[in-house]
Every structure is written in C-alpha cells, then in structure tokens.
Chain A
Amino acid sequence: MNKSTIVVGGGIAGMTAAGELSRLGVEVTLVEQEQITGGHAACWDRLFPTRRPAEEVISFLREQTDSKVNKFSGRSVTEILHHESMFTATLSDGTILHGESLVLATGYDLFDASRKEEYGYGIYDNVITSAELEGWFKNHQLVRTKNGRIPSRVAFIHCVGSRDEKVGNLYCSKVCCITGVKQAIEVKEALPACDVYSFYMDLRMFDRNFEELYFEAQKKYGITFIRGRLSECSENADHTLVVKTEDTLTGKPMKMIVDLVVLLVGFVPRSQNTQMLSKLKLITGNDGFLQPEDEHNGDNLTRIPGLFITGAVKGPVTIANAVADARATALQVYSFLHSNR
C-alpha cells in the first residue's frame, strides 16, 4: 500500500509539510477550508523583519505543493476518526478521505478585539486591528481615517488579547511586538508627516534582526515608544480618539488625542478545532492550544501514533518558525510511515 498522509490546513505549516512529504514520495492530500491556500499569510502584505512580500513565501509553497499533492480547497474537515491505524477525515461536502497518517496544521484564529470593550473596537470609527491595517497595505488602500482625513497621529497598541488575564489569555502571542514595529514604520513611510506612537508593556524582540528593526524604527523613522498599557480609549465628537495610559517611565498618567488607533491582535486557538477533534481526545494546554507529547523531543507527536501536529495549532509562532516546524514534522511523518508499525 502507498504511504499516505492527510494534511489538514493549507496555511504556511500545512503547505510546507505537504510539499516536503510529497517530495519524499508520500501520497499527500491537503485540505484547506478557504478557496485559496496560504492561510492568514495570504491576507498579509509584507513580512517582518525584512518586509519581503508575503506573496513570495506563499508562491514558493504553492509551487512545492502544486504538482503531486492532491488538493481539496474550499472545504473544511468536520470530523476526524482514527480506526485500526487508519485516519478518516470527513469534509464539509461529504467527501471522505483516508490516510495512514494525518498532520493537523489548522493554525489559529485572530483575537476578537471587540472583547476588549474599553478599547472601542467595533464601537468607534477609527479603532482598527493590525490585520485590517495589513489588508489596507495589501490592497494599496491609503492610510486614512474613516471620514477620509489624513491622520496626523497614529497609536499602535501592543498586547491586545495577549498577556491579559481579563480575556483568559495569559500567554504572549510572540509576533505582535515585531509586527507593531514593522507596521509603525510602514505608516511612517506612507505618511512622513504623521507622528507614530507605540504603547507597550515589554517589547520582545527575540528573533534575528528584530531588535535591529526596533532600532531602525527609532533612529530612521522617529517612532515614539511609550511604556504603558492602554487603559481605555474614548471618542471625541470629531471622531478623534483619546488614549489613556500611564507613562510608566515617568510615573504619570498620560492622555493623548490620536486620529487612528491600531490594535495589535494576538493568536487564539481555533474554535473549529473543538468539533473536528472531539473524537480524538487530544490534549490541550491551559492556553487552549494543542499539547504535543513531549515539548522537546516530540513536539510534533500526539498521543495517537500517526497523528502529528505542526505550526500555530500548538501556539503562537512566526512564519519562519512554522516553516521549520513543518519540515521537522514531515520528517517525523516519513519515519513513521516507514517504520514497522
């Protein structure tokens, strides 16, 4: 029998795993719920820290998964069953897929910013999310307020939905710090006369070239970083916004009128996973993301032999790290398929 695998999720991790496994001679079926592959990255304009177009990365992965990978897009997986060493995935259109192994690469959802009601997302006109701003960049839409004015002040708010006990998310989403720095630079490039402020608790520039971009944001672009978490946001009659925080480094409460507020929304576990995975009884961590068997020596393994997890389904991850993780997963799947089970 052919060595086969089903990859659920056609984002960065899923496409990478599918492409690598296909090259290794495995018969791969890739399921993506959207019409196009690429996941969240398909909605992204440019990637941190180098600001290369996201399209480059996605095109590369599409080429890798083009020829031999059997693809089902525009359909989601409703249920996964494991019986006598075989996996069965049922799709939303009734299609049933079988595989000797299965890779879960279902990724994440973005935090719903309206849950932080005090920030006014969905209530005030000029409070947007980082994903929306990225959409503006991608669609070559100008950075303007809702009524079409050129903003003279823009505030980026870090840690929205992350590191926040009040919304039940204690974890750090890892990518928002550097995304905020990247987008602040891009707003400044688009609007040189605009003053750009960044409100943060900590700036976690953990990966290569992140700190350098932060440095550049200050040196070359004059972005102002203010250490204080946004307490509340209110709207003026002219639809400008008052942001209130403590400027913790001077120890004084601070308020500022801005034209546009960008909320850097974090990762949350995918809500659809619950139903899809209900029969498999996989273990999730306190953060709601899937828990691997061994965080060091088996971080793509689950309690079910032949079922692998990769990418953001295990928690916040950068694109570069998702690619590396998915490649490691492919190797694990390959060894499993060639082992004496």
Chain B
Amino acid sequence: MKDFGYQAHRDNTIDFEKNDFRIARFLLEREPSLNLCIGCGSCTGTCSTGHFTEFNIRKIHTLIKRGETEMARKQIRQCMFCGKCQLICPRGINLRNVILGINRALEKI
C-alpha cells in the first residue's frame, strides 16, 4: 500500500468486541475471588513496588478483566510477591494467586 505519510492512531477505547478476554477467563476460573474487587486501592496504596515504579496492581488486574493485557505484559514481573496487597484487601482477594496466575497466563497466551 502506498505510504501517504498518514498514521492511524491506535484506538484508545476499551473495546469489548475486540479485546482478548482469555487471560481474564483463565484468572477468574483459577482465582474467583478476583471478581470481588471494589477498586478501593488498598493494594496499590500499600504496594512496595508501586511506590517506586509505575507498577499499579489494581490497574493491572482491572485492565485484564476488561481484556486489556498490555500493562500486565510490561509490568507484572516487577511484583516482588511480598503479599502486603493480599494482607490488606478488604474483600479478601487472594492477590498473590492472581499475580501468579497472570504470570502463568502470559507464559501460555
């Protein structure tokens, strides 16, 4: 195709029709407590990694549930598995298993 010098911007919308929900399905099956999140931010507020880097575990798992996996691919390895997020979660989400699941899923998918 002829290059006219135009660039099409990547769609910034969370597009439920196009997004990839395989990781979300895998995760929710493996750790159903993930569905209990109310987005309070306690996990991110206490996260040791998050205080020094862009790493935001609440955003990562929320985006995965929306079928957006890019942030997880780029950042999930930064987690140090300290488990403070899990200790603090008011909904009792097993966050270490969620993160482990994200790692597993990314190896496969």
Contact = CB atoms under 8 A, between A and B. Distances in A.
Interface of A: 118, 159, 163-166, 201-202, 227-232, 244-248, 251-254
Give me the 10 closest cross-chain CB pairs, A-B, nearest first.
A246-B41, A231-B45, A246-B44, A229-B40, A231-B46, A165-B92, A248-B41, A246-B45, A228-B41, A245-B45
Nearest to B49: A253
A263 to B, nearest CB: 14
A230 B88 CA distance: 10
B44 A253 contact: yes
B56 interface: yes
Contact of A166 (B41, B58, B59, B92): B92
B83 interface: no
Interface in B1-54: 38-47, 50-51
B97 to A, nearest CB: 16
B40 A228 contact: yes
A231 B87 CA distance: 10
Nearest to B52: A253
Contact of A253 (B40, B50, B88): B50
A119 to B, nearest CB: 11
B26 to A, nearest CB: 24
B89 A165 contact: yes
B40 A166 contact: no
- On chain B, which size bracket covers the interface? 20 to 34
A18 B46 CA distance: 49
B45 A166 contact: no
Contact of B91 (A165, A202, A232, A245): A165
B41 A245 contact: yes
B56 A166 contact: no
A253 B51 contact: yes
Given A228-B40, A251-B56, A253-B50, A164 B45 contact: no
B58 A232 contact: no
A246 B42 contact: yes
A201 B46 contact: no
A285 B40 CA distance: 26
Nearest to A166: B90
Nearest to B41: A246
Given A229-B41, A248-B41, A253 B90 contact: no
Contact of B47 (A118, A166, A253): A253
Nearest to B57: A246
Contacts of B51: 253
A254 B50 CA distance: 10
Contact of B90 (A164, A232, A245, A247): A164
Contacts of B38: 163, 201-202
Nearest to A244: B45
Contact of A247 (B41, B42, B43, B88): B41
Contacts of A227: 41
A202 B88 CA distance: 18
A229 B56 CA distance: 15
A253 B58 CA distance: 11
B17 to A, nearest CB: 25
A234 B81 CA distance: 22
Contacts of A228: 40-42, 45
13 contacts: A159-B90, A166-B90, A201-B39, A229-B40, A232-B88, A244-B46, A245-B41, A246-B44, A246-B50, A246-B56, A248-B40, A253-B47, A253-B50
Interface in B70-109: 87-92
